Amino acid sequence: MKHTIFFLFITLPLFRVNALHQSYTDSLMQALNTTESIEERIDILNELAWEWREEKMDVALQYSDSAYHLSQQIQDIERQTTSLKRKGVVLKNKGDYSTALYCYEEALAYEIANNNKKGEASCYNNMGNIYKKWGDNKPALECFIKSLKIKESLFPGSITLANTYKNLGYFYFTSLEKLDTAIFYLEQAKEIAIEKKNAALEGLIINDLGLIYHESEMFEDAFTIFRDAASRFETLNDSVNMARVWDNLGRTATYMENYPLAELYHHQSLSVKKAHHDQIGEGIVYCNLGDLMLKKENYSNALDYYNKFLNISEKTDSKQNIVTAYQGLSLSYEGLKQYEEAIVFRKAYEEAKSEMDLRNNKEEVEELRIRYNTEKRKQQISTLQFEKELHVQALERSNQFNNALMLISGLVLLVAFLIVRNYQSKRKASQYLAIKIEEINNQRVNEIMQLQELKIMEAVIDSQEYERKRIAQQLHGEVGSILHTIKLYFNSMEKKFNSSLNESKEQYLKANELLDKVTCEIRDVSHSLDAGIVNNLGIIAALEELAGSIQLSNQMYVTVESYNMEERLESRKEILIYRIIQEVVSNVLKHAKAENLYISLTRREHDLNIIIEDDGIGFDVEHARKNGGMGLKNISTKVSHLGGDLVFDSKKGHGSTVIIDINL
């Protein structure tokens, strides 16, 4: 009985909402069939387009198109703009991003012309979401910031502004991976939500903050934050958002190795997903439970949960979830030492992943083609408009010329007389001016060349970081996946070994040991190439991880000290400084034969001081510079790009010290 009441408590509000929605749309249709006013028909059509924007998108498009054409007929710009925005949101929901963007750009032009700031902000926000869908983060951020600035001036301290802060914070977190900035905007949103006593919005913001702490592997803090979010939704009896937070609590508890609590939260979430007939959500919970069982090494239960996840994923045709399910099933069979089954699902995982990657690449190419054609079409329209304007201007100039011809003829003699009279004096002044202009131009050329060198350097550095990240992902993903499959084959062979084949088994065990070593080496290389930890946790955490990996390899003992480094530096600067230190450390490992390495970072008022000192064999600095050592040259170039100073202090037999001062 208690479970029946719980089910009704969750589902009755849904039935009521659906009934109200149907009643409202029925009344709109009735009004549409009875009204004779064109303006009222347009308003009703736009409202119907909005009501059906998700459930009946093709119908919604027909309504918005009808509203648009009627608005054109009566030349009602305001209603025409509303129709364009309705059409834009439906096209965005359908995935036709390029046409949606075109609608919003046209609507934006009308809003700017009519000085409708609220409508302008709405257009920028929707355009930003489209660029975000494309993964084009720079124009997305520009649109979001423009929308934010307008809303800050129009709606200070409002829920509208709080939602904008929240969305921008989430964008910085998920798309730009700038966690400090994400937290800044989310905290601003939270302040407004608290002030306005909006517990629902406050809960959503707190949940987003918890995700950031979880991503930063601060699991204890994340768990506390998620519990705070859950308490908001429990007070509001908001079961859908409670389930969302329970999922996050379950995942965080899994990482904290509090497995009973993790299982409890996931099952609570599962009951809500089943009550709402949310198949995709139900499947995700099964996946989370499968991950939990893998952590507990309960491979039989993991297998059961991943099979349920796979069945739902196949029903809903979710390619990404199918790939994840195959991977989970392979790992479960591997844990049960059923290697042949593990290999079957490993192959299925790799084939499905390759197919999905290929499809995604094709979709990206198609999107680029559509965007190119859209931009080309817009350029052609702009060119035609420009040519028309030129033609009109040419006619006007022709009339003006005819009218002024007589006046100009009368002035010619006077002008000629003045020119001759002043020719000599102007000639001297021109010569002097030419000399000055040449000096200024030379100075400008030098400045432009220096600026161009800086731009080239930035482009090279960005390109290097992109290539490092790509190679790291390829090593970790594709090569790591192949090695894991080979490992499964080895484990399968081990079960089939005859006890009498001792020599063969010894060779097998040696090969297996080497395979494990290669896997670890590739993981270490991919970590060293990818600067992700610098972006997420900062340069000090990245250097401490670097020190730990060196010490584990027993190459030398590394000490990292920092002073006044609590505040993060700008992201690109942190990555570049990390690469400089990484290169110095690499040189020490290769050449110094040192037992100890000391790294110190001290933040002062206007600069950052870095000291890297080892107790190795040292080297002749001048000799290394004259012989063009690439290591020293690369370090010097990167320090110079940051506008810093670099000093190498070393003698043979006395170790080495590198001192770097970088302006902040």
For 174-194, what is each residue's pLDDT tens digit?
A: 888 888 889 999 999 999 999
Contact predicate 311/329, CB 8 Å: no
What span, in angstroms and rounded, lies between the C-alpha atoms of 202 and 186? 10
For 244-295, what is each residue's pLDDT tens digit?
A: 999 999 999 999 999 999 999 999 999 999 998 888 889 999 999 999 999 9
Contact predicate 331/309, CB 8 Å: no
pLDDT at position 590 over 90: no
pLDDT at position 408 over 70: no
pLDDT, greater one: 508 or 208: 208
pLDDT, greater one: 560 or 23: 560
**What rounded mean pLDDT belongs to the chain?**
77
pLDDT, greater one: 172 or 549: 172
Of 132, 204, 205, 203, nearest to 174 (Cα)? 132
What span, in angstroms and rounded, lies between the C-alpha atoms of 81 and 114? 11
Where does the pLDDT of residue 600 fall: very low under 50, low under 70, confident under 90, or very high at 90 and above? Answer: very high
Burial code of 410-425, b = ≥16 C-beta within 10 A, e = fewer?
A: eeeeeeeeeeeeeeee
pLDDT at position 654 over 50: yes
The per-residue pLDDT for 3 is 37
| 531-663 is classed CATH 3.30.565.10 | yes
pLDDT at position 384 over 70: no
pLDDT at position 409 over 90: no
pLDDT, greater one: 517 or 112: 112
What span, in angstroms and rounded, lies between the C-alpha atoms of 330 and 488? 10
pLDDT, greater one: 463 or 510: 510
- Domain(s) labelled CATH 1.25.40.10 in the chain stretch across 278-387
Where does the pLDDT of residue 484 fall: very low under 50, low under 70, confident under 90, or very high at 90 and above? Answer: low
Cα atoms in the 13 Å half-sphere on the side-chain side of 177: 12
Residues 309-328: what's their mean pLDDT? 87
278-387 has which CATH code? 1.25.40.10
pLDDT at position 227 over 90: yes
pLDDT, greater one: 61 or 397: 61
What span, in angstroms and rounded, lies between the C-alpha atoms of 305 and 309? 6
Q: Can you give the pTM of this predicted structure?
A: 0.57
Where does the pLDDT of residue 417 fall: very low under 50, low under 70, confident under 90, or very high at 90 and above? Answer: very low
Burial code of 359-378, b = ≥16 C-beta within 10 A, e = fewer?
A: eeeeeeeebeeeeeebeeee
The per-residue pLDDT for 292 is 92
Residues 550-557: what's their mean pLDDT? 80
The per-residue pLDDT for 470 is 52
The per-residue pLDDT for 131 is 87
The per-residue pLDDT for 298 is 92
The per-residue pLDDT for 550 is 81
Residues 416-431: what's their mean pLDDT? 48
Of 640, 652, 638, 643, nearest to 583 (Cα)? 638
Where does the pLDDT of residue 499 fall: very low under 50, low under 70, confident under 90, or very high at 90 and above? Answer: very low
pLDDT at position 173 over 60: yes
The per-residue pLDDT for 8 is 36
**355 phi/psi in degrees, rounded to 5:** -65, -40
pLDDT at position 141 over 80: yes
Query: Pairing between strand 645-650 and 607-614?
Result: unpaired
Name the amino acid, one letter, at 244: R
The per-residue pLDDT for 414 is 45
What span, in angstroms and rounded, lies between the C-alpha atoms of 196 and 177? 29
Contact predicate 49/86, CB 8 Å: yes
Residues 6+ apart with CB under 8 A from 518: 483
The per-residue pLDDT for 491 is 65
Residues 165-170: what's their mean pLDDT? 91
Which helix (H) or strand (E) is 233 found in, with range?
Answer: helix 219-236
Q: How far is CA 538 from the centre of its chain?
A: 17
